[in-house]
Amino acid sequence: MTAKEFVRASIGRLKELKAQGKNVIGIDGVLTIFSDLEQAVSDVTLPLRAEKFVEIQASFDLEYYRASIEGRHRLFDSVVSTGSAAIKSLFLINGGGCVALLALIGQLAQRLPLAGNTNVFAVPLLSFAIGVGAASFAACVLALAQKAFHEKHQRVGRVAGYITMLLGLMSLAAFRTGCYVTFTQFSQMR
């Protein structure tokens, strides 16, 4: 097999991989490299010069590095969007809990002869409000984490990410507490 045949076979294999959707290492860049190599190599079977081999290897390494960076960037974007969606969900469930509880308190205050019975819902209302606050604060810390990672402050970004997760868990615990206390108080009312 001549060098030109080898290059043609390599291009054919890379095109097969690309058709299968395997675009991990920047197939377009590798195809360009091999096309340039095919034009540079004659039909005579001669060993590649060391300089040409080093140049080709450097081009291949550069394409691999670009694809690696792009993959990490996509992963980071997906993690951030997932975190943002989770924070929005926490904000909505706790805010919804506040609204629902306020509506319940309003209805009970109109129907019960003594409005003092509605005071038992102060703790769950506070719990839902704490959940909303924790979710809001988590959104701010998530933005700080993004900025830190963007500016290459990995340690600060990692710590901010952990704080965001803890605030999210706190918001979820506040929602659970608010629901539980509301249920127990509502079930004890006669």
Tokens at residue 143, please?
């933005």
- The answer on 49 and 106 residing in a single domain is no
> How far from 4 is each of 12, 35, 36, 143, CA to CA, in Å?
12, 10, 11, 52
Q: Are residues 82 and 174 in the same domain?
A: yes
Same domain, 91 and 150: yes
pLDDT class of 72 with cuts at 50, 70, 90:
confident
Question: Cβ distance 167 to 138 under 8 Å?
Answer: yes
* Range with top average pLDDT, 10-14, 117-121, 126-130: 126-130
Q: Which two tokens stand for residue 86?
A: 């989770």
Q: Are residues 56 and 120 in the same domain?
A: no
Rounded Cα–Cα distance for residues 75 and 147 (Å) = 16
Q: How many domains does the chain have?
A: 2
The residue with greater pLDDT, 55 or 173, is: 173
- 127 and 80 in a common domain: yes
Same domain, 87 and 161: yes
Selection from 121, 124, 123, 130 nearest residue 171 by Cα: 130
Mean residue pLDDT of the chain comes to: 82
pTM for this entry: 0.62
Other residues' Cβ atoms within 10 Å of the Cβ of residue 93: 20
| Structural domain boundaries enclosing 8 | 3-68
| 8 shares its domain with 97 | no
Retrieve residue 189's tokens: 């009312």
> Does 46 have pLDDT greater than 80?
no
- Residue 113: how many CA atoms within 13 Å on its side-chain side? 1
Q: Are residues 36 and 128 in the same domain?
A: no
Q: Which of 68, 92, 120 is the last residue in one of the domains?
A: 68
Of residues 155 and 107, which shows the higher confidence score? 155
On whether both 95 and 18 belong to a single domain, the answer is no
